[in-house]
Amino acid sequence: MSQARSAAPVPAWLERSAAVGWRVLAIAGMTLVAVAMALAVPVSATAVMISLVLAATLAPTAVRLRGRGLPSSAAAAVAFGVGAVIVIGTLIILALALVPEVQRIITAVQSGLDAVRDRLASLGAPDAISSVVDIFSASIRASLTPDPAGLASAAVDVGMLLVLGTFLTYFLLADGDAGWAVAMRRLQPWQAQAVTADALAGLERVAWYVRRTALLAIADAAVTFAVLAAFGAPLPAALSAVALVAGFVPYAGAIVGGAVIFLATLAMAGTVPAIAVVLATLLAWLVAGRLLERTSMDRRADVNPVIVLIAIPAGFAMLGLVGVLALLPMTVFGLAVFRAVVAALGVAPSSAPAASPPQPDAVVTARRPDAATTEAEASDPPSRPSTAVQVRADGIPLWLDRLAQWSWRGLVIAGLGLLVIFTIDRIPSVVAPVALGLVVAATMLPVVDLLERRGWRRGVAAGLSMVVVSVVTVVVCAAAAAVTVKGLGDIIDAAAAGAGRFDLTWLRDVVLRLGSVVRVDVAAALASMAGLVLDIVLALLLCFFLLRDGPSWWQGASGRLADGRREPVQAAGHRAVGILAGYMGGTALISLFGALTSGLIMVILGLPLALPIVVIGFFFGFIPYLGSFLTTGIAVLVTFALGTPGDMVVMLVFTVVFNIVQGNIVTPIVYGRGLALHPAVVLMAIPVGGELAGMLGMFLVVPVAAVAAATWQLVPRAIDGAGLPDDEAAQDAEPDVLPATEQAAAR
């Protein structure tokens, strides 16, 4: 025995620790990668978090309405409408009460800090305490000093968050069940039932948590307003709004909000009202907590304080205040489904052979320390989740091993994706022409194929197509530059004036901020005109060669693959080309429709700047949903500045009707089934593309996402060499593709 132990390379405890350690490192690494990806696109990540929390809060209401016989879409619409009224009403109240008085509150807080420092000095406080107060005061002043550029940028981000969060919340309520069912398909029935049951329980906990937090915040705001009004202190509504906002951040919000209210009241009303409002708020919080303890709401919404203290700084470090507000409810939901997820991951495969001997990676099920069964005994999982914890022969929990196996492979794929992104970022002058050339070639491919079937040589057909595309590109770009550059400044000034006409200062700042960005982009584009022209020329030349030789290149490359891989690869390419062609043509039609209708309304109303807005609307229309929303919004602001009250009403009605008709009727008809993307996916993809690659990213991200959605099932089959199912083989066969030899002869 001693010889065997001495022959072991490492102690058993060290080997087991390392086995657990690398799995934990893999999971932690994948988690960090996910966090880094979210931080790379903060606006999109924040919008998703907000919509998830709002949808989770409203989902139980929608479920109850469906249980009472209301159709799913109607139940989602009612729940969304109720939530929208509450949220929008609260935001309006906060804006009216707080925004006009922000500067006064900042000044009062700074004065309150000075008063505290002077009082400590008069009492003979030690220098160490005075130094701490000075440091704290300087930090508060630095954080409260407004930055006009930062405020304008924040206003733009808030506007984007409101638009994305609103649409995503509705889509989650309306179609969340269908998405969840798709996610549960690969699980066994009992696993899907367990995860779904815990997910519903998690939604209930999130809903009750938000409701409980809202009640406590309202109570704090009401008490603050009552005490300040009783003492006749200034700004009772604004400071109660501060209490309301701070109440949604557990623990830390009460401390920060209470400090702001105390200092502002101290400076404006004196010591007694300041102390009274703090004591009254603390007493109200204790009483409300005691009252809620007697109800089921407290039990359903109770969150461990340790989780709160961890989630608050983590959320603030990731996404600021919104991260603080959203991360804790998401943590509550994650903890609710964690047990079921572990149970689903910790089940041995049912296909394991019953008589196979134990292997080094064999799985056992440990119900208690002195009992175990082999993997074969657990191969027939129970009809409902068991509390048993299945482990490998080396003592590693099966759920931990599986999660680690997925994680390290995910890290490899993430590293490969990062390498691709880094390469693209280093050579943008190559990537942009290639991307544009591929998109234009896919769009013109049906035209070239049609001319070839009518007897044209493929090279001649491709050349003629490129001549037409080049002429159209030059004419459109020249006309757009001539019209837009001249009227761009007038449009921005008119839109800002329209916002300022109704004292919408924040909206005016947003317009001016966007206008400055657009002016800079236009100036940069004009300054680098030579590079832009070179990119367009390269894209057109690449498009010509792709149209002329692309099919033969594709056939030659895919023909070298094995049979089981060739069919899925060819089917994926066929789908990708079809989607790109349909998307670009459809988007051009939708953009033209939106631009012409907006311009027609402005001409009928006798408003100026119609032609520049038509041009801007056409180009912005290539950004689905958001592009038309922005351009119609600009037209509304121009009407506010230059039109009559009747013109304003007509333009507002047109904008609402137009966006509803285009989003729900025109877009589905034009795209048909070619673009198999849910609107929620499109809305999430657009800001991601913008944050990663600017306007080009917003333009290309939707077709890229559509291609990925249409081909993701074929890629694994090509890698595995599994070929195509018989029904898909006939559907995805490439029509009218000549063999390479015939194409060469035709050219």
Q: Which of 120-124, 203-207, 244-248 has the lowest mean pLDDT?
A: 120-124
Distance CA 733, CA 709 (A): 19
- Pairing mode of beta strands 371-374, 389-392: unpaired
Asked if the model's pLDDT at residue 379 lies above 50, the reply is no
Name the band, by pLDDT with cuts 50, 70 and 90, for residue 319. low
* Among candidate residues 706, 707, 686, the one with its CA nearest the CA of residue 697: 686
Tell me the DSSP string of 455-481: T--HHHHHHHHHHHHHHHHHHHHHHHH
Q: How far is Cα of residue 643 from the mean position of the Cα atoms in its chain?
A: 37
Distance CA 620, CA 283 (A): 54
Name the band, by pLDDT with cuts 50, 70 and 90, for residue 354. very low
* Among candidate residues 583, 579, 598, the one with its CA nearest the CA of residue 639: 598
- Pairing mode of beta strands 371-374, 363-368: antiparallel
Name the band, by pLDDT with cuts 50, 70 and 90, for residue 743. very low
Distance CA 670, CA 170 (A): 23
Tokens of 264: 């502002």
In the chain, pLDDT over 90 holds for what percent of residues?
4
Q: What is the pLDDT of residue 27?
A: 92
Asked if the model's pLDDT at residue 321 lies above 50, the reply is yes
Q: What is the pLDDT of residue 665?
A: 65
DSSP designation for 734: P
Asked if the model's pLDDT at residue 411 lies above 90, the reply is yes
Asked if the model's pLDDT at residue 469 lies above 90, the reply is no
Q: How much is the average pLDDT of 547-573? A: 84
Q: What is the pLDDT of residue 21?
A: 92
Q: What is the pLDDT of residue 1?
A: 44
Q: What is the pLDDT of residue 30?
A: 92
Distance CA 196, CA 340 (A): 9
* Among candidate residues 94, 105, 86, 90, the one with its CA nearest the CA of residue 241: 94
Write the CA distances from 231 to 223, 236, 526, integer angstroms: 12, 10, 62
**pLDDT of 474-499, one tens digit each?**
787 777 766 666 656 666 666 666 66
Write the CA distances from 97 to 83, 109, 171, 676, integer angstroms: 21, 17, 31, 45
Q: What is the pLDDT of residue 350?
A: 47
Q: What is the pLDDT of residue 674?
A: 57
Opening angle at CA 81, ends 79 and 85, nearest 5: 120
* Among candidate residues 139, 568, 169, the one with its CA nearest the CA of residue 131: 139
Tokens of 541: 């030349």
Distance CA 378, CA 359 (A): 15
Best mean pLDDT range from 2-11, 101-110, 118-127, 181-190: 101-110
Q: How much is the average pLDDT of 175-191? A: 80
Q: How much is the average pLDDT of 97-118? A: 82
Q: What is the pLDDT of residue 294?
A: 66
Residue whose entry in the numeric block shows the structure tokens 């206008």: 515
Distance CA 116, CA 65 (A): 54
Name the band, by pLDDT with cuts 50, 70 and 90, for residue 126. confident
Taking the model in full, what pTM does it have?
A: 0.70
Write the CA distances from 622 to 444, 644, 678, 686, 701, integer angstroms: 17, 31, 17, 11, 11
Asked if the model's pLDDT at residue 637 lies above 70, the reply is yes
Q: What is the pLDDT of residue 484?
A: 63
Asked if the model's pLDDT at residue 371 lies above 70, the reply is no
Mutual angle of helices 127-144 and 102-122, in 10-degree steps? 170
Asked if the model's pLDDT at residue 279 lies above 80, the reply is yes
Alpha helices (runs of H) in 124-270, residue ranges in sequence order: 127-144, 148-183, 189-231, 236-246, 252-269
pLDDT, greater one: 510 or 543: 543
Q: Which of 96-100, 134-138, 250-254 has the lowest mean pLDDT?
A: 134-138
Name the band, by pLDDT with cuts 50, 70 and 90, for residue 144. low
DSSP designation for 372: E
Q: What is the pLDDT of residue 494?
A: 67
* Among candidate residues 36, 22, 9, 13, the one with its CA nearest the CA of residue 415: 36
Tokens of 107: 């000044």
Asked if the model's pLDDT at residue 370 lies above 60, the reply is no
Asked if the model's pLDDT at residue 89 lies above 80, the reply is yes
In the chain, pLDDT over 70 holds for what percent of residues?
73
Asked if the model's pLDDT at residue 604 lies above 50, the reply is yes
pLDDT, averaged across the chain: 75
**pLDDT of 26-74, one tens digit each?**
999 998 898 888 878 877 888 888 888 888 888 888 888 888 888 887 8
Asked if the model's pLDDT at residue 361 lies above 70, the reply is no
Name the band, by pLDDT with cuts 50, 70 and 90, for residue 86. confident
486 burial via Cβ count (<10 Å: 0-12, 13-18, 19+): exposed
Q: How far is Cα of residue 125 from the mean position of the Cα atoms in its chain?
A: 51
Residue whose entry in the numeric block shows the structure tokens 């800001």: 687
Q: How much is the average pLDDT of 679-705? A: 77
Q: What is the pLDDT of residue 742?
A: 39
Q: How much is the average pLDDT of 121-133? A: 72
Q: What is the pLDDT of residue 141?
A: 61
Q: Which residues of 29-58 are buried (b: 16+ CB within 10 A; e: fewer)?
A: bbeebeeeebeebbbbbbbbbbbbbbbbbb
Asked if the model's pLDDT at residue 555 lies above 70, the reply is yes
Q: What is the pLDDT of residue 741?
A: 34
